[in-house]
Amino acid sequence: MTLSREASHAALVVRLLLEDTPPRAAVAALDWTTLLQVTERSSTLIRTVERLAALGEPAPAFVATAVERERQRVREAFELARRIAEACDARGIPALFPKVFQHYPDLGDDLDLLVVSPSRRVDAVILEGLRAARRPGHWGSRIAGSVSYQVEGCSTPLDIQHGRLGVAGEETAFPAILWRERRRVVVAGLDAFTASPEHLLVLHGVQRVYGRLGIDLADVAAAATLMRRPLAWDGILDTAAQLGVLPGLGAFLGYVEQIHRRLFGRWLLPPGLRSRLPLERWGGIAFHNGVYRHPMIRVNGALYGRRLVTALATRRWAT
């Protein structure tokens, strides 16, 4: 199968992020303009350029300028996260940044803070001393219990999620689990609580397929990196089953498996574990218009239909 220029560059980026040495032909065909477009959209710019430099492919000036601009954005976001983490610690507010370190030295488009309490009144305490303006929300963010702020000195929006996760705020039990099993991590001067590797993978299952048009390239690489590590898989599957998101986790991991096998010729998960997950009933996935796209209507219809039935049956869906 012949890949489009965009898709071939996406495949190159995944290889680089997983610390693979890509085929010479892929590097020889590198188009820096296309690469910049793919990586800026997918929160992979800094790592990709660093890996290429290590392979003897220095970036041209216009890409180097974009990299420095992105580094500055990450520095600003980490400084804001540091101040918020210190404020939460000082005031005894249970809160964590579940995904802040997963793409480092890159960073996603938003800075996500999960507050275990469902009350939004805590925002004023967290943001005390900061010049923060509430950004216009939409019905989805209101349902999901999320409020977005623009803080002076940080170009990255701060999204505060209050006691719930999921597209429609359906996951009300997961925040307490994330907090209970949290990890304290220090990176680049940021000392903050974050999700455990196992629960970060479950979080991908909650957030990356349900209600989504596709899967970001950076999330594919992040999940594959986690899946290559020794993980407590019994705990992962038990948590996903408890939350009713095992089909969503299976769909997400199945897509990551497809991409990994296409690039590397092998599965990530061992057969015994593959047999315990619903990996192969969701159709194909291909890179198009900036993300890995799946059959959205069919997949989301099946997943959310099951999720809604489960949530209503167990009365876990927040109202």
Dihedral-angle region of residue 277 (phi above 0 means left; psi in -120 to 50 means alpha; beta otherwise):
beta
Distance between first and last Cα of the chain: 47
262-281 pLDDT per residue, tens = 999 999 998 899 989 888 77
Q: For the sheet containing 158-162, what is the strand order?
A: 95-96, 111-115, 158-162, 146-151, 132-134
| Sole residue written with tokens 């370190």 | 101
| Sole residue written with tokens 């990450």 | 74
| Distance separating alpha carbons of residues 300 and 235, to the nearest angstrom | 25
pLDDT for res 319: 42
The answer to whether 118 and 162 are in contact (CB under 8 A) is yes
**Tokens at residue 82, please?**
């540091």
Query: Is this model's pTM higher than 0.85 or not?
Result: yes
- What domains sit in the chain, N to C, each tagged with a CATH number? 1-59 (no CATH), 74-195 (3.30.460), 196-311 (no CATH)
pLDDT for res 209: 80
SS3 at position 123? helix
The answer to whether 38 and 6 are in contact (CB under 8 A) is yes
Residue 171 is classified by DSSP as: B
139-198 pLDDT per residue, tens = 556 666 789 999 999 999 999 999 999 877 778 899 999 999 999 999 999 999 999 999
Q: Which residues of the chain have pLDDT under 70?
A: 1-2, 138-144, 296-319
Contacts of 104 (CB under 8 A, 6+ apart): 74, 187, 188
**For residue 98, is the peptide bond before it cis, meaning its omega torsion is within 30 degrees of 0?**
no
Of the candidates 160, 148, 157, which has an alpha carbon nearest to the alpha carbon of residue 76?
Answer: 157
Relative orientation angle of helices 5-17 and 246-264, to the nearest 10 degrees: 100
pLDDT for res 299: 65
pLDDT for res 9: 97
| Distance separating alpha carbons of residues 247 and 210, to the nearest angstrom | 10
- The CB-side HSE value for 21 (13 A sphere, CA atoms) comes to 4
The answer to whether 163 and 55 are in contact (CB under 8 A) is no
| Distance separating alpha carbons of residues 162 and 144, to the nearest angstrom | 8
